[in-house]
């Protein structure tokens, strides 16, 4: 039986091909090169799968006769279409209502207010004008975020109600009281409502709340705090109704209080799956794609005690110079290095993950060693820019 994969990258395509003898790829037009396909084994269909009626029709007309074992996606914009197609086919999947509850940030807040209010923050969904005024009593300010945004794009910190009015009029912004504290992300796997914590990472952020580092395991969590983070994740997933499959959850810990930032029924991006593999031995991409086929996080040991992904940033301007990959760092190893710009390219403001200019992966004997190595890299100085007019 075949496996249908929605919105696959080149890497995800290869993982999927290792799981099933036949793959049906469903892609946005032009998003997957034909050479990735295996001759006479894989099929590729390209259309706007985010159009729900079109996705339902495709599942009925094209997929049903093929009788696939499952429809999966690990990309944010493919989660709902995969659930829609699975619903038509009756194959194992996270129910569409649960996927939507996790993707719709306002919907998630409403459910938490009912089922797990201790994990929630004060919020105002689109149309909640009276509540919006009250949020600005927070001494930390108010976060404005697109209801269905991704990649840290469009997130703003507001200090006065007047700043929120224009955004509120657009009707697709969620407003939340800013939650102070250290931020962590949790990779979990659920089976029949039992939530296994696969890994926990400590997150670093820069301007505009764009993620600049992930450290696994965290340096800032003792055993007691980690246990509370893990329990909060399980309570969240129960509240949202997730019973099966992977999840990536982001939370903040401040003075013993844990608040949920957001969650997704997919693995974390930003190379977090590589950190999971390095530190736990779990092939997180394989599990996340193959769970409807019986793939599970297998017990094992990681190759290293700790690892971190560090993202390079640069000031706006034209790239003038790029530093070489260091041969070594004190107490840590550089195992991956990628620069996404070349001399002469233009670099814009850091507004989303797509504005970062590269990354490195470091490994070491402890989280503290990786944390120090990341600082020693000086990731904001790998790419040097000059005035674009120069």
pLDDT tens, residue by residue, 57-76:
999 999 999 999 999 999 99
- Per-residue pLDDT of 201-243, as tens digits, reads 999 988 778 899 999 999 989 999 999 999 999 999 999 999 9
Overall average pLDDT of the 180-208 stretch: 94
The arrangement of strands across the sheet holding 211-216 comes to 257-264, 245-254, 182-191, 194-205, 211-216, 306-312, 358-364, 333-339
Nearest to 55 by CA among 35, 30, 81, 23: 81
Position 171 pLDDT exceeds 70: no
Gap between the Cα atoms of 12 and 81, Å rounded: 17
- Per-residue pLDDT of 311-329, as tens digits, reads 999 999 999 999 999 988 8
> CATH second-level architecture of 3-93?
3-Layer(aba) Sandwich (3.40)
Choice among 30-39, 159-168, 298-307, 336-345 with the minimum mean pLDDT: 159-168
What are the sequence ranges of the domains in the chain? 3-93, 122-177, 181-293, 304-390
Position 127 pLDDT exceeds 90: no
Q: Enter the pTM of the model.
A: 0.94
Q: What distance lies between CA 335 and its chain's CA centroid?
A: 22
Q: What is the pLDDT of residue 139?
A: 84
Report which of residues 353 and 248 the model is more confident about: 248
- Per-residue pLDDT of 341-355, as tens digits, reads 999 999 999 888 889
Report which of residues 165 and 114 the model is more confident about: 114
Top-tier CATH class for 304-390: alpha beta
Residues 6+ apart with CB under 8 A from 7: 26, 27, 28, 31, 49, 73, 75, 77, 78, 81
The mean predicted confidence, pLDDT, of the chain is: 92
- State what percent of residues in the chain have pLDDT above 70: 96
Residues 6+ apart with CB under 8 A from 331: 364, 365, 369, 372, 373
Position 86 pLDDT exceeds 80: yes
Report which of residues 159 and 357 the model is more confident about: 357
Q: What is the pLDDT of residue 209?
A: 83
- State what percent of residues in the chain have pLDDT above 90: 75
Q: What is the pLDDT of residue 34?
A: 79
Q: What is the pLDDT of residue 374?
A: 92
At residue 299 the predicted structure's pLDDT band, cuts being 50, 70 and 90, is confident
Position 126 pLDDT exceeds 80: no
Q: What is the pLDDT of residue 148?
A: 66
Question: Are residues 182 and 254 in contact, defined by beta-carbon separation less than 8 angstroms?
Answer: yes
At residue 6 the predicted structure's pLDDT band, cuts being 50, 70 and 90, is very high
CATH code, residues 181-293: 3.30.470.20
């Amino acid at each position: 039986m075949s496996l249908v994969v929605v919105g696959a990258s080149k890497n995800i395509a290869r993982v999927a091909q290792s799981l099933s003898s036949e793959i049906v790829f469903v892609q946005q037009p032009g998003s997957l090169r034909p050479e990735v396909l295996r001759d006479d084994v894989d099929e590729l269909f390209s259309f706007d799968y985010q159009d729900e009626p079109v996705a339902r029709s495709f599942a009925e007309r094209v997929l049903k006769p093929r009788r696939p074992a499952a429809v999966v996606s690990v990309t944010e914009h493919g989660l709902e279409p995969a659930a829609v197609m699975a619903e038509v086919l009756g194959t194992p999947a996270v129910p569409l209502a649960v996927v939507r509850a996790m993707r719709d940030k306002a919907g998630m807040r409403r459910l938490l207010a009912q089922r797990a209010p201790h994990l929630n923050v004060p919020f105002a969904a689109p149309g909640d004008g009276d509540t919006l005024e009250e949020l600005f009593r927070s001494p930390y300010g108010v976060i404005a975020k697109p209801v269905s945004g991704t990649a840290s794009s469009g997130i703003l910190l507001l200090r006065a109600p007047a700043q929120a009015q224009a955004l509120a009029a657009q009707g697709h912004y969620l407003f939340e009281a800013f939650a102070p504290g250290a931020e962590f992300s949790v990779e979990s796997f659920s089976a029949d409502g039992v939530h296994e914590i696969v890994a926990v990472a400590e997150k670093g952020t820069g301007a505009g709340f764009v993620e600049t580092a992930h450290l696994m395991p965290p340096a800032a969590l003792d055993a007691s705090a980690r246990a509370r983070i893990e329990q909060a994740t399980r309570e969240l997933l129960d509240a949202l109704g997730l019973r099966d499959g992977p999840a990536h959850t982001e939370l903040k810990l401040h003075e013993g209080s844990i608040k949920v930032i957001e969650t997704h029924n997919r693995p974390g991006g930003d190379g977090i799956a590589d950190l999971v593999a390095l530190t736990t031995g779990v092939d997180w991409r394989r599990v996340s794609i193959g769970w409807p086929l019986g793939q599970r996080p297998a017990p094992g040991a990681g190759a290293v005690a700790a690892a971190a992904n560090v993202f390079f940033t640069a000031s706006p301007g034209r790239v003038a110079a790029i530093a070489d990959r260091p041969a070594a760092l004190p107490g840590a190893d550089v195992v991956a290095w990628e620069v996404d710009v070349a001399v002469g390219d233009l670099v814009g403001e850091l507004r989303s993950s797509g504005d970062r200019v590269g990354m490195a992966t470091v490994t070491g004997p402890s989280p503290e060693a990786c944390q120090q190595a990341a600082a020693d890299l000086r990731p904001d100085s790998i790419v040097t820019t000059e005035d674009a007019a120069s």
